[in-house]
Amino acid sequence: MKQTVTQKIIARAAGRESVEPGEYVNVSPDYTCCQEIAWPARKRIMEQAGVSRLARPEKVIMVVDHTTSAGMGTAYYQTHREMKDFAMRNGARFYGPGSGLRHLVLTENGFARPGMLVFSDEPNIASIGVVGALNVPVSSEVVVTQLTDENWMMVPKPVRMRLEGSLPFGVLARDLVQTIIRDFAQGDRLSQSCIEYCGPAIQTLSLDERQSILACSYHAGADTALMPVDELALAYAAERANGEPIHLFESDEGAEYAFEATYDLSGLSPMVTVPPELHQVVPVKEPAGLKIDQAAIGSCANSRLDDLRAAAAVLKGNRVAPHVTFYITPGSREVYAAAAREGLLEIFMEAGATVLAPGCTTCWGYEGFLNPGEVSLSTHQMNYRGRNGSRESLSYLAGPYVVAASAVAGRIADPREMLAEIVQ
């Protein structure tokens, strides 16, 4: 029976030789991961069930990544304390405020490894697929898994997307995935699927760029996604595995996919998502010239070192427009430290940007709250009304080049013009 990588990972966790798309199977995931926003509800479920002990605490990862601080007037300070106390009391792994996004906590600390199956409470954690780890997004079911060390899941239908060519000047991986979202988000063709990316173009993309694609794939309609584990990805995972097992899988020749699609990266251009729908993606030239009040680089889509490097390339020697507030959020402590060593933080500060603590911060509106009538351009994941503040504000989405160039111009701008001047 021919199996895809997706099927092989799930079959291993189910203790079986093979599984079929659409089949419901019982699995024991390698890790479960949760965050503080949902913690109070998870805690209530445990209390109502009269159960508080974890079946395998070493497999439970708890991260404070949405509320990187617990300011006056919020209830998050209490959530932070309760979550930490629970983790310490039960022997779970706990990462407190400022540790960064769960996505990066998993990869940087070697929890995400080739062949691993992870249950989490967020679909964007599909970014761990950069090292061949499969994220299965669940909700309250994460509690069941933590208390019993097993749970059922449906095997997603496998979809294959082939990437060819290479990104042109001034274009980033975010522009690719926005194009994919434009093409698929309005329909259900990717519903209950796992996208397996393949093709020669992947070799031209850094691990950071691959994670950007994976983290956004959910918004095209897929449940989760994977990248092939090439030498680059394997070296990264092996260095951080701490002696833990690695399971390398490849799809069998002739394995069946629900459908396949191909994208030629060389034909892409900088894209902008227009509010309030994620599928409303247009070339940057269409909204170019629109005045913005706030810019932000961060989120699980674009908070890695390559994203900060892209922003710094535009900002170096330039200043953020006086009427624009520009926030930059590194995705983790490791990213923050690397950016400091490379002098990127100094570039941001000299340009007039504000660097925030690692985490979600501005993406879900915890910081950088928008007033009525204000316009934001960011690398965030969502742009629905009220996501980042007032329902009368407007949130546009783009890649780091477009956001940084627009912050300098004070209006939505094509970054290629500014980048061309820098190259010269």
- The whole-number pLDDT of residue 423 equals 62
Mean pLDDT on 39-58: 87
Mean pLDDT on 354-374: 92
- The whole-number pLDDT of residue 362 equals 92
Single pTM value for the model: 0.96
Residue 335 near residue 104, CB atoms below 8 Å:
yes
Confidence of residue 72 (pLDDT cuts 50, 70, 90): low
pLDDT for 195 beyond 70: yes
Sign of the dihedral through C-alpha 94, 98, 100, 102: positive
Residue 241: C-alpha distances to residues 57, 77, 87, 423 (Å): 19, 33, 22, 39
Residue 210 backbone zone (phi > 0: left; psi -120 to 50: alpha; other: beta): alpha
- The whole-number pLDDT of residue 76 equals 83
Confidence of residue 41 (pLDDT cuts 50, 70, 90): confident
Mean pLDDT on 396-424: 93
Mean pLDDT on 347-376: 94
**Average pLDDT score, the chain:** 95
| Cα angle: 351, vertex 357, 359; to 5 degrees | 120
Backbone angles phi, psi at 95, to 5 degrees: -125, 115
User: Which residue has 């918004």 as its token pair?
Assistant: 219
44's enclosing H/E stretch is helix 39-49
- The whole-number pLDDT of residue 419 equals 93
- The whole-number pLDDT of residue 407 equals 98
- The whole-number pLDDT of residue 71 equals 67
CB atoms within 10 A of CB 420: 12
User: Which of the four CATH numbers 2.102.10.10, 3.40.50.150, 3.30.499.10, 3.40.1410.10 does domain 5-263 have?
Assistant: 3.30.499.10
Domain residue ranges of the chain, discontinuous segments joined by +: 5-263, 272-423
- The whole-number pLDDT of residue 240 equals 97
Residue 348 near residue 315, CB atoms below 8 Å:
yes
3-state secondary structure (DSSP) of residue 110:
coil
Q: Which residues pair with 154 in a beta bridge?
A: 24
Q: Where are the beta strands (DSSP E) in 121-169?
A: 134-137, 151-154, 157-164
CA-nearest of 405, 341, 330, 334 to 363 is 330
Give the CATH superfamily of 272-423.
Aconitase, domain 3 (3.30.499.10)
- The whole-number pLDDT of residue 46 equals 86
pLDDT for 162 beyond 70: yes
- The whole-number pLDDT of residue 371 equals 95
In CATH terms, are 5-263 and 272-423 the same topology? yes
Percent share of the chain, pLDDT over 70: 99
Mean pLDDT on 86-105: 94
pLDDT for 215 beyond 70: yes
- The whole-number pLDDT of residue 49 equals 83
Mean pLDDT on 224-238: 98
Burial (CB < 10 A; 0-12, 13-18, 19+), residue 120, is: buried
pLDDT tens digits, 102-141: 999 999 999 999 999 999 988 899 999 999 999 999 988 8
Backbone angles phi, psi at 305, to 5 degrees: -60, -40
Q: Which residues pair with 158 in a beta bridge?
A: 194
pLDDT tens digits, 254-298: 999 999 999 999 999 999 999 999 999 999 999 999 999 999 999
Range 89-92, long-range pairs (CB < 8 A, 24+ positions):
90/52, 90/53, 90/54, 90/57, 90/60, 91/54, 91/57, 91/58, 92/54, 92/57, 92/58, 92/60, 92/61, 92/62
Residue 198: which residues within 8 A CB-CB, separation 6 or more?
A: 160, 161, 162, 163, 228
Confidence of residue 39 (pLDDT cuts 50, 70, 90): confident
Confidence of residue 38 (pLDDT cuts 50, 70, 90): confident
pLDDT tens digits, 175-186: 999 999 999 999
For residue 363, which amino acid is it?
A: C
Mean pLDDT on 329-343: 98
CB atoms within 10 A of CB 43: 16
Q: Which residues pair with 162 in a beta bridge?
A: 198, 262
- The whole-number pLDDT of residue 121 equals 87
Q: How far apart are CA 133 and CA 305, in angstroms?
A: 21
Give Cα 219 to chain centroid, integer Å: 11
- The whole-number pLDDT of residue 214 equals 98
| DSSP 8-state assignment for residue 291 | B
Residue 229 near residue 131, CB atoms below 8 Å:
yes
- The whole-number pLDDT of residue 48 equals 87
